[in-house]
Amino acid sequence: MNKGLSRDLFWNTAGSLLYALSSMVLAFFVMRTAGAEDGGIFGFGFSTFGQQMFIVAYFGIRPFQITDVKNEYSFGEYVRARIISSLIAVLGAFLFLGFMALSGRYSPYKGAVIMLLALCKITDGFADVFESECQRQGKLYLGGKALFMRTLLMMAGLMAGLLISGSLLIGALTALFSEIAGLLFFNVRLFKEGFPKEDMSLEPGKIKGIFRDTALLFLSVFLDFYIFSSVKYAIDLCLTDEVSGIFNILFMPTSFVYLVANFIIKPFMTMLASAFELGEKKRFMGICRKIELATAGLILAAFGAALLLGGPVLRLGELILGAGYSGSLYNNRYSFAVIILGGGFYALANFYYYILVIMRRQKSIFAVYLCTTAAALFASYFAVSGHGMTGAAICYCLLMLALLLSFAGISAYELSRGDRFSHKEGR
């Protein structure tokens, strides 16, 4: 392994790992420090609604940007597009939370905390444009380093604010200030050092072009996250904040499984895009098979570990949370294993999603998400209202399996068509 790839893998792993762990660490910290109700509010605000707003700011641009090997758009154009999408996310968060508060579903306190946490995630969504460009330009390590440092600063800000004040509202506010400081100091500064002459040009109509090219990707990713989180929305609607907090703890490792899978997948995306563009079918398929086998192995290992070690790990989690949480995690150990399996299905589905992005099959992606969203809207509500957390776990796993089978089937069909590569042969 050459030095550049080793450096990329190290910092991408460090940044992604800390980002994955941050939600879990902060969820435990808030539940132990502020109690189960505030823990539930934090879990929903940070990992569910906040992440949904991250998706709006993200706007599905990253997969397009990192595979834009022909430089259709300049970095300056990607930045301006991400500013617009981030402002849309802020407006969307205000409108949704304003409605929930005015309708009496959220208290002013809960609405304010969730808004601050959503703003943290929106800032994350904007910061990603720098990290995406680092990957596109072959300097993935810079993006990983910025993600690591910014996440560490945000975690420290939230913990310090909550410990000093005893208020989750203050903790969320200090987390937001820390996130913005991290964006300015790490993402912007590190990027300028790595790309001092990066193209910030802007051609008329190019911003519209980015949104036109990524609109279906955005809608697909937005729906994807709703499908991923639909059972958590249903719990927020049907059950209590305390139950929401417990389920959020059980659910956290799915993001970890997904991000570990991305350690395997992400570094090879640009190579896959290049192989496809050059018509190198054998190389393309070879990389795909290696990723499939590695990700499938990860799924089996994660599910096996959840079955064998889930009980003791959940007992340890209860000890960390405190005496008042005895049995709250362990009694849901089988649901935990089912959730982990669903997280593995989602990780592999994400790989086939990227394959379809490389082939620019946005309409096929959108069709899958639209159909699965329709199923999730009804299935998650009835599963949670009828069977609580057990129903939520089974529903989540089945929805992720549906995504996996759909994307894998379409990818296999597209790759079996000779014209996908034949028109580029001999170049």
Q: What is the 3-state secondary structure (H, E, C) of the chain?
A: CCHHHHHHHHHHHHHHHHHHHHHHHHHHHHHHHHCHHHHHHHHHHHHHHHHHHHHHHHCCHHHHHHCCCCCCCCHHHHHHHHHHHHHHHHHHHHHHHHHHHHCCCCCHHHHHHHHHHHHHHHHHHHHHHHHHHHHHCCCHHHHHHHHHHHHHHHHHHHHHHHHHHCCHHHHHHHHHHHHHHHHHHHHHHHHHHHCCCCCCCCCCCHHHHHHHHHHHHHHHHHHHHHHHHHHHHHHHHHCCHHHHHHHHHHHHHHHHHHHHHHHHHHHHHHHHHHHHHCCCHHHHHHHHHHHHHHHHHHHHHHHHHHHHHHHHHHHHHHHHHCHHHCCCCHHHHHHHHHHHHHHHHHHHHHHHHHHHHHCCCHHHHHHHHHHHHHHHHHHHHHHHHHHHHHHHHHHHHHHHHHHHHHHHHHHHHHHHCCHHHHCCCCC
* pLDDT band, residue 313 (cuts 50/70/90): very high
Ramachandran quadrant class, 73 (left: phi over 0; alpha: psi -120 to 50; beta: rest): beta
Q: What is the pLDDT of residue 255?
A: 76
Between CA 252 and CA 21 the distance in angstroms is 9
Take residue 16 and report the two structure tokens written for it: 């992604």
Share of the chain above pLDDT 90, in %: 54
- CA distances, 98 to each of 40, 88, 112 (Å): 19, 15, 10
State how far Cα 6 lies from the chain centre. 24
Torsion from C-alpha of 251, 255, 258, 262, nearest 10 degrees? -170
For CA atoms 394, 311, 51, 18, give the dihedral sign. negative
Least confident of 229-238, 251-260, 308-317: 251-260
Tens-place pLDDT, residues 20-62: 789 889 999 999 999 989 999 999 999 999 999 999 999 988 8
Beta carbons of 339 and 254 less than 8 angstroms apart: yes
Tens-place pLDDT, residues 193-237: 766 666 776 776 889 999 988 888 788 889 989 999 999 999 998
Length reported for the chain: 427
* pLDDT band, residue 425 (cuts 50/70/90): very low
Between CA 77 and CA 63 the distance in angstroms is 16
Beta carbons of 275 and 364 less than 8 angstroms apart: no
pLDDT over 70 at 391, yes or no:
yes
Q: At what angle do helices 241-265 and 281-321 cross, to 10 degrees?
A: 150
Q: What is the pLDDT of residue 316?
A: 92
Tens-place pLDDT, residues 168-191: 999 999 999 999 999 999 988 777
The set of residues, in sequence order, having a beta carbon less than 8 Å from that of 236 and lying 6+ positions away, is: 44, 48, 244
Between CA 206 and CA 349 the distance in angstroms is 31
Mean pLDDT, range 322-335, rounded to an integer: 89
Take residue 130 and report the two structure tokens written for it: 């720098």
Q: Which of 238, 235, 233 is nearest to 96 (CA)?
A: 233
State how far Cα 360 lies from the chain centre. 21
Between CA 160 and CA 260 the distance in angstroms is 28
Q: What is the pLDDT of residue 155?
A: 97
Tens-place pLDDT, residues 340-365: 999 999 999 988 988 888 887 888 88
- CA distances, 162 to each of 24, 29, 324, 403 (Å): 16, 10, 20, 38
* pLDDT band, residue 336 (cuts 50/70/90): very high
* pLDDT band, residue 259 (cuts 50/70/90): confident
pLDDT over 90 at 158, yes or no:
yes
Q: Which of 185, 180, 328 is nearest to 246 (CA)?
A: 328
Averaged confidence pLDDT in the chain: 88
Q: What is the pLDDT of residue 5?
A: 64
Q: What is the pLDDT of residue 375?
A: 95
Tens-place pLDDT, residues 99-155: 999 998 899 999 999 999 999 999 999 999 998 888 888 888 888 899 999 999 999
Q: What is the pLDDT of residue 273?
A: 81
pLDDT over 70 at 419, yes or no:
no
Per domain, the residue ranges of the chain are: 1-203, 226-422
Residue 358: phi and psi, rounded to 5, are: -60, -40
